[in-house]
C-alpha cells in the first residue's frame, strides 16, 4: 500500500463512510481509505475503532493472497471483547501504541492468554505471542525467538517487558520467584543506562537487546542472559537539540545525597558540559522531573542490590559516571610555542585522576599527545586542539561503553543458570526477545542513524524471509499452487549497506586514508552507488546523501562520519587506564573484546572485586584548585617542547573501526536468530483522531507509511 505526498484530499468519492467493513469499499485504494477514515473521524467513530484502520493492510494483504479469510474476521472482531490495541496479520501481531495505560495487561488477561488453543476466540494481544512462543517451546523443545520491530517510539520496549512478564506468569512456578523478579527488574536497570530522551521518544532505547530466558525441559525458568548490541556511545558526548544524555546521569543528580555528591566531586548538573545547555539540553530539571529522577535513582539502587550487585559495585559505577562527567569538562588551549595544546583548567583533570586512581601526569600527557612505537622507537606526537578534543571524547565514550558492558556482564553472571548443568546448558530450550532501536528519521541524521537504520533493514529482511520467502518455498516444495506475493523486498538494501562495496565497506576503506574527509567519503558513496534507486544524491550540501529505506527516504549528513568511525582512542590513553589502581577499571581496558566489540560477552572474565582507595575530600580539592591551576600544564609543556609534531597517528588509522564492530555484532545477532523459530511483533504509533483531521497530508502519509511497512 502506498500513499504519496501528492495525495489529493479533495478526492472524496471512493470512500463515503457508507460501509461498516472497509473490505466492502468499492475501490480499495489509498484515497478511498483516507476518505473513509476521514468520514469516520467526522462521525466520531474513529477513536475506538483505530484497529480497523490497521486492518486495511490486513484486508489488502489477504485479498491479494486470499488464503485464510477467517483470520481477517479475527482481526475485525476485536470490539466485542477486551478493548485492545493490537491485531494480527497472519502470524504477525500488530500492536498499536495507545500512549496511555489501558487495563488490558491485568491478571484477567494473563489468565485468559494461558495455553490458548484457538487464537480467534480472543482479542489479539502481545500476551498471545508470549503464550504461543512458550507453548511451542515446550512442545518442540526448541529455541524460540520473538522479534519486536517498529519505528522509534512505537512501543517495542514496552511490548518486550509485557511479554517477559507474561512468560514468567506462564511458568506458574514458585520454583525461583526471586530469579523471576530479577529478570523483570534488569530491564529497568538497563533502561537507566541505555535509554535516553530523543525527539521521538522520551525513553528511547539507544542499544539493542536480546533477552534470552532459559528453561528446563518442563518449562521452569532456570536463568536468563542479556545480549547487548550497538550502544549509541556518541550520545555520551554529543546529542541533538532537545534531546538528553543517558537517564542515569539525571537520576544521579536528583538522587544522590549532598555528601554523596561531594564524594564524587559533583555539584550542579548545569556545570557539566555534556548535560548543560551547550550540549543542547535544558540546563535544569523541572520539579516534577527531579521528583521522578529521585524515585528512579532509588529504584536503580534497589534493583542493583536485589539482582546481586555489591555496595562496592554500585559505588564503582557512580565513580566511573562521575569521571565521565569531569573528563568531558576538560578543555584545551592552543599552545603557540609547540603547535600543540595544553589543558586549560586542571581541576577536572585532577578529579578524574582521583576518581579513577590514575597518574595525573601520565593522563595529561596521554590527553595532549599520542605515542607510537615505530621501528622499535617511541614517537610522540602532539595533538592539535581538534585531536585532543576527539581523544578526550573517545575516552569518555569508551569509559561509558565499557561500564555498560561490565554491568551487562555482571547481570549475566547473576542470572545465569546453575553452572552444575555443565554442557547440558547449551541444549536447554529458550525464548529470546529482540528489542532493537527502531527506525529513525530525524531532521538531522548522522552516523548513528545510519547504523540503526541499517540494522533495521536487516531485521526487515529477516521478517520478509520468514513471512514471505520461506512460506513461498514451503508452498512450492509441497506443490501447493500460489500467487507470488508482492512485497517490498529490501534485499538490495542489504547489499547497499553490507556488500563488499557497500556503504560500510567504503566508509571503512576511507577511514584508513589519513587525508580522507567526510566530503571525499560522500563522493565515494556517490561514485559507487549513483546508479542505484536506493541512493539519492542530495544537492543541499556536499555532505548530505539520501537512502530510500524500506520505511521511507532518509537524508543523512556525513559530517563527522570518519571521526566517529575511527573511534580515536589512542594507545597511550588505553595504557594509562590499564594502569589504574582500581582493578576493575584496569580490567575494563585490558580484557579482550569480542569481534563485535562487546565486553559483556568477552571470554576473559572480570575477576577483580571493586576496591576503591580513599581519596581527597571534595572541599580540600577545591581549595587547592587555584594553586595547581596551570602548574602541571607548564611542566608538561616543557617536557614535550622538545618533541616534534607528528600529525599522522598510525595507531589511529590501524584501529578496529566502529563499523567493523557494528557489522560483526549484527552478524552475531542474526546468527543467533537464524536457528530459532520466530514470532513477530510490529509496534506502531497510535492513530490519533486529531491527527487524522489534519488537512495536510503529512500525518496521513506517516500512518500509511507505517502500514505500508507492516
Ligand atoms: N502498551 C503500552 N501501553 C501504554 N503506553 C505505552 C505502551 N507501549 C508504549 N507506550 C508508551 O510509548 C512510549 C514509547 O514506547 P517504547 O519506549 O516502548 O518505544 P520503542 O518502540 O521501544 O522506541 P525506541 O525504538 O525509541 O526505543 C513509552 O514510554 C510509553 O509511554
ipTM of the complex: 0.98
Of 468, 541, 532, residue with least CA distance to 497: 532
Mean pLDDT of 425-449: 88
Contacts of 206 (CB under 8 A, 6+ apart): 194, 195, 196, 231, 232, 235, 246, 437
The least confident of 411-425, 583-597, 641-655 is 641-655
Confidence at residue 56, expressed as pLDDT on a 0 to 100 scale: 42
Is position 677 within any domain? no
Q: How far is CA 438 from CA 3, 448, 449, 485, 655, in A?
A: 22, 12, 10, 26, 29
Identify the three-state secondary structure at position 92: strand
Find out whether 153 is annotated in a ligand binding site: yes
Q: Which atom of ligand 1 is nearest to the CA of 148?
A: 21
The label of the residue with cell 532493537 reads 436
Phi, psi (deg, nearest 5) at residue 595: -60, -25
pLDDT at residue 251 is higher than 80: yes
**Residue 382 region by backbone torsions, left for phi larger than 0, else alpha for psi between -120 and 50, else beta:** beta
- What is the average pLDDT value for the chain, to the nearest integer? 79
Task: Show the domain range for 485.
Answer: 447-564
Three cell numbers written together for 290: 527531579
73 band by pLDDT with thresholds 50, 70 and 90? very low
Pocket of ligand 1 (CB under 6 A): 97-101, 150, 152-158, 200-201, 203-205, 437-438, 683
Distance between CA atoms of 71 and 77, rounded to whole angstroms? Answer: 10
Query: Measured in angstroms, how far is the CA atom of residue 436 from the centroid of ligand 1?
Result: 13
- Identify the band that residue 207 occupies on the pLDDT scale cut at 50, 70 and 90: very high
Establish if 550 belongs to a structural domain.
Answer: yes
List CB contacts of 145: < 8 A, sequence separation 6 or more. Answer: 431, 432, 433, 434, 672, 673, 676, 677, 678, 679
User: Which ligand 1 atom is nearest residue 198's CA?
Assistant: 26
Q: Which of 402, 313, 396 is nearest to 593 (CA)?
A: 402
Task: Identify the residue whose C-alpha is closest to ligand 1 atom 9.
Answer: 155
**Can you tell me which atom of ligand 1 is nearest the CA of 95?**
1
Contact 561, 658 (CB under 8 A): no
pLDDT grade, residue 622 (50/70/90)? low
Look at the chain and report how many structural domains it folds into: 1
- Confidence at residue 607, expressed as pLDDT on a 0 to 100 scale: 64
Specify the pairing of strand 430-435 against strand 377-382: unpaired
155 is known to lie in a ligand binding site:
yes
pLDDT value at position 80? 38
The span from the CA of 26 to the CA of 598, in Å, is 55
DSSP 8-state class, residue 644: P
Q: What is the pLDDT of residue 16?
A: 58
Quick one: which atom of ligand 1 is closest to the CA of 195?
27
**What is residue 675's predicted lDDT score, i.e. its pLDDT?**
78
SS3 of residue 231 by DSSP? coil
Please compute the mean of the pLDDT values over residues 638-643 and round it to a whole number.
48
Asked whether residue 677 is marked as a ligand-binding residue, the answer is no
- Answer whether residue 413 shows pLDDT above 50: yes
Element (H, E) at 607: none
Segment 476-486 mean pLDDT: 70
Specify whether the CB–CB gap between 183 and 167 falls below 8 A. Answer: no
Higher confidence at residue 111 or residue 53?
111
> Is 156 annotated for ligand binding?
yes
What Cα–Cα distance (Å) separates residue 622 from each residue in 266, 321, 322, 323? 11, 20, 16, 16
Residue 22: the pLDDT is 57
Which pLDDT score, from 0 to 100, does residue 582 have? 92
> What confidence tier does 3 reach under pLDDT thresholds 50, 70, 90?
very low
* Closest to 145 measured CA to CA, from 194, 213, 206: 213
Ligand 1 geometric centre to CA of 543 (Å)? 33
Q: Which whole number is the average pLDDT over 124-153?
A: 90
Least confident of 321-335, 434-448, 461-475: 461-475
Cα 59 to ligand 1 centroid, rounded to whole Å: 26
| Nearest alpha carbon to residue 122 among 167, 166, 80 | 80
Lowest mean pLDDT segment, chosen from 422-426, 530-534, 642-646: 642-646
Q: Please report whether residue 624 resides in a domain.
A: no
Local structure of residue 341 (DSSP, 8 states): E
Percent of the chain at pLDDT exceeding 70: 70
Return the higher-pLDDT residue of 467 and 347.
347
Specify which of 269-278, 416-425, 477-486 reaches the highest per-range mean pLDDT: 269-278
Residue to substitute in 103, 123, 158, 160 for testing ligand 1 pocket (most ligand atoms within 8 angstroms of CB): 158
Quote the ligand 1 centre to 128 CA distance (angstroms).
19
For residue 433, pLDDT beyond 90: yes
Residue 92 belongs to a domain: no
Give the mutation target among 82, 153, 198 for probing the ligand 1 site: most ligand atoms within 8 A of CB: 153
* Residue 104 clears pLDDT 90, i.e. is over it: no
**289 vs 52, higher pLDDT:** 289
In this prediction, residue 11 has a pLDDT band, given cuts at 50, 70 and 90, of very low
Measure Cα distances from 663 to 242, 248, 398, 508 in Å.
30, 28, 19, 11
**Strand 430-435 relative to strand 208-215, pairing:** antiparallel
Is residue 340 one of the residues assigned to a domain?
A: no
Between 376 and 501, the higher pLDDT residue = 501
In the reported structure, the alpha carbon of residue 413 is separated from the centroid of ligand 1 by a whole-number distance in angstroms of: 29
Q: Of 178-187, 483-492, 594-603, 631-640, which range is least confident?
A: 631-640
In this prediction, residue 608 carries a pLDDT of: 63
Helix (H) or strand (E) holding 554: strand 552-557
- Active-site residues, by number, are 152-153, 157, 201, 204-205, 438, 440
pLDDT-derived band at 697 (thresholds 50, 70, 90) equals very low
- Neighbouring residues of 400: CB distance < 8 A, sequence distance ≥ 6: 233, 236, 246, 320, 321, 324
Q: Quick one: average pLDDT of 9-19?
A: 48
Max mean pLDDT range (16-30, 255-269, 595-609): 255-269
CA 162 to ligand 1: nearest atom: 1
CATH number at residue 560: 1.20.58.530
Q: Please, which pLDDT band fits residue 645 given cuts at 50, 70 and 90?
A: very low
Q: Is 308 left (phi over 0), alpha (psi -120 to 50) or beta?
A: left
539 vs 78, more confident: 539
Q: Measured between alpha carbons, how far is 551 from 270 in angstroms, rounded to an integer?
A: 38
Residue 517 pLDDT exceeds 90: yes
pLDDT band at 175 (very low <50, low <70, confident <90, very high): low
State in Å: Cα 153 to ligand 1 middle: 5
571: pLDDT confidence band, cut at 50, 70 and 90?
confident
The answer as to whether 66 is a domain residue is no
Residue 535 lies in a domain: yes
**What is the pLDDT at residue 12?**
36
pLDDT at 532: 94
Q: Which residue's C-alpha comes closest to atom 31 of ligand 1?
A: 99
Give me ligand 1 centre to Cα 150, in Å: 11
Residue 202 and residue 243: Cα distance in Å, rounded? Answer: 8
Run of H or E including 664 = helix 658-674
In this predicted structure, the answer to whether residue 514 has a pLDDT above a threshold of 80 is yes
Q: Kindly state the percentage of the chain with pLDDT values over 90.
A: 42
Mutate to test the pocket of ligand 1, among 203, 207, 684 (most ligand atoms within 8 A of CB): 203
Residue 167 lies in a domain: no
Mutate to test the pocket of ligand 1, among 130, 155, 197 (most ligand atoms within 8 A of CB): 155
Q: Phi and psi (nearest 5°) for 555? A: -100, 125
Amino acid at each position: 500500500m502506498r500513499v504519496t505526498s501528492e495525495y489529493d484530499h479533495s478526492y472524496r468519492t471512493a470512500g463515503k463512510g457508507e460501509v461498516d467493513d472497509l473490505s466492502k469499499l468499492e475501490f480499495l485504494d489509498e484515497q478511498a481509505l483516507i476518505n473513509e477514515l476521514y468520514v469516520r473521524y467526522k462521525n466520531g467513530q474513529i477513536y475506538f475503532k483505530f484497529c480497523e484502520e490497521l486492518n486495511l493492510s490486513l484486508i489488502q494483504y489477504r485479498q491479494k493472497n486470499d488464503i485464510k479469510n477467517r483470520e481477517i474476521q479475527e482481526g475485525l472482531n476485536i470490539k466485542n471483547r477486551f478493548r485492545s490495541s493490537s491485531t494480527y496479520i497472519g502470524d504477525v501481531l500488530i500492536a498499536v501504541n495507545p500512549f496511555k495505560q489501558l487495563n488490558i495487561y491485568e491478571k484477567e488477561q494473563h489468565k485468559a492468554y494461558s495455553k490458548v488453543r484457538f487464537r480467534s476466540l480472543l482479542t489479539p494481544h502481545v500476551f498471545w505471542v508470549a503464550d504461543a512462543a512458550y507453548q511451542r517451546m515446550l512442545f518442540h523443545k526448541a529455541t524460540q525467538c520473538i522479534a519486536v520491530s517498529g519505528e522509534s517510539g512505537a512501543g517495542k520496549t514496552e511490548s518486550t517487558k509485557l511479554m517477559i512478564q507474561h512468560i514468567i506468569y506462564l511458568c506458574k512456578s514458585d520454583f525461583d520467584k526471586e530469579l523471576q523478579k530479577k529478570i523483570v527488574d534488569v530491564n529497568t536497570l538497563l533502561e537507566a543506562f541505555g535509554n535516553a530522551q530523543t525527539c521521538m521518544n522520551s525513553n528511547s532505547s539507544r542499544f539493542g537487546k536480546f533477552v534470552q530466558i532459559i528453561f528446563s525441559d518442563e518449562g521452569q525458568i532456570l536463568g536468563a542472559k542479556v545480549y547487548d548490541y550497538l550502544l549509541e556511545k556518541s550520545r555520551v558526548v554529543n546529542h541533538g537539540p532537545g534531546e538528553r544524555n543517558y537517564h542515569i546521569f539525571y537520576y544521579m543528580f536528583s538522587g544522590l545525597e549532598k555528601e554523596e555528591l561531594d564524594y564524587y566531586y559533583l555539584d550542579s548538573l548545569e556545570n557539566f558540559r555534556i548535560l548543560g545547555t551547550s550540549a543542547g539540553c535544558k540546563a535544569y530539571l523541572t520539579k516534577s522531573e527531579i521528583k521522578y529522577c529521585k524515585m528512579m535513582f532509588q529504584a536503580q539502587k534497589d534493583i542493583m542490590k536485589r539482582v546481586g550487585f555489591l555496595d562496592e559495585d554500585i559505588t564503582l559505577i557512580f565513580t566511573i559516571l562521575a569521571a565521565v562527567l569531569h573528563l568531558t569538562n576538560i578543555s584545551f588551549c592552543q599552545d603557540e610555542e609547540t603547535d600543540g595544546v595544553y589543558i586549560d583548567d586542571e581541576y577536572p583533570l585532577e578529579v578524574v585522576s582521583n576518581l579513577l586512581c590514575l597518574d595525573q601526569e601520565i593522563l595529561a600527557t596521554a590527553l595532549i599527545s599520542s605515542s607510537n612505537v615505530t621501528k622499535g622507537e617511541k614517537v610522540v606526537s602532539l595533538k592539535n586542539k581538534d585531536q585532543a578534543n576527539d581523544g578526550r571524547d573517545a575516552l569518555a565514550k569508551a569509559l561509558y561503553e565499557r561500564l555498560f558492558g561490565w554491568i551487562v556482564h555482571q547481570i549475566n553472571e547473576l542470572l545465569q543458570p546453575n553452572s552444575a548443568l555443565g554442557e547440558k546448558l547449551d541444549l536447554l530450550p529458550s525464548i529470546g526477545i529482540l528489542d532493537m532501536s527502531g527506525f529513525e528519521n530525524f531532521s538531522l541524521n548522522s552516523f548513528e542513524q545510519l547504523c540503526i537504520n541499517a540494522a533495521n533493514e536487516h531485521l526487515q529482511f529477516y521478517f520478509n524471509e520468514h513471512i514471505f520467502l520461506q512460506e513461498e518455498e514451503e508452498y512450492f516444495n509441497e506443490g501447493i499452487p500460489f500467487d507470488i506475493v508482492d512485497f517490498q523486498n529490501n534485499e538490495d538494501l542489504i547489499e547497499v549497506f553490507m556488500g563488499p562495496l557497500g556503504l560500510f565497506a567504503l566508509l571503512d576503506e576511507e577511514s584508513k586514508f589519513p587525508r580522507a574527509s567526510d566530503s571525499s567519503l560522500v563522493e565515494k558513496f556517490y561514485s559507487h552507488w549513483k546508479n542505484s534507486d536506493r541512493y539519492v544524491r542530495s544537492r543541499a550540501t556536499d555532505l548530505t546523501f539520501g537512502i530510500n529505506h524500506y520505511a521511507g527516504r532518509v537524508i543523512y549528513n556525513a559530517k563527522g562520519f570518519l571521526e566517529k568511525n575511527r573511534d580515536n582512542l589512542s594507545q597511550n590513553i588505553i595504557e594509562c587506564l590499564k594502569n589504574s589502581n582500581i582493578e576493575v577499571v584496569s580490567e575494563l581496558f585490558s580484557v579482550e573484546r569480542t569481534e563485535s566489540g562487546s565486553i559483556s560477552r568477552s571470554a576473559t572474565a572480570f575477576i577483580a572485586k571493586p576496591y576503591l582507595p580513599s581519596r581527597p575530600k571534595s572541599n580540600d580539592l577545591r581549595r587547592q584548585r587555584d594553586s595547581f591551576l596551570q602548574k602541571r600544564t607548564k611542566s608538561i609543556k616543557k617536557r614535550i617542547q622538545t618533541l616534534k609534531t607528528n600529525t599522522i597517528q598510525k595507531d589511529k588509522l590501524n584501529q578496529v573501526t566502529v563499523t567493523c564492530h557494528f557489522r560483526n555484532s549484527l552478524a552475531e545477532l542474526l546468527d543467533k536468530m537464524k536457528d530459532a523459530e520466530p514470532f513477530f511483533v510490529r509496534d506502531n504509533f497510535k492513530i490519533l483522531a486529531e491527527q487524522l483531521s489534519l488537512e495536510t497530508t503529512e500525518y496521513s502519509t506517516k500512518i500509511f507509511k507505517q502500514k505500508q511497512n507492516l
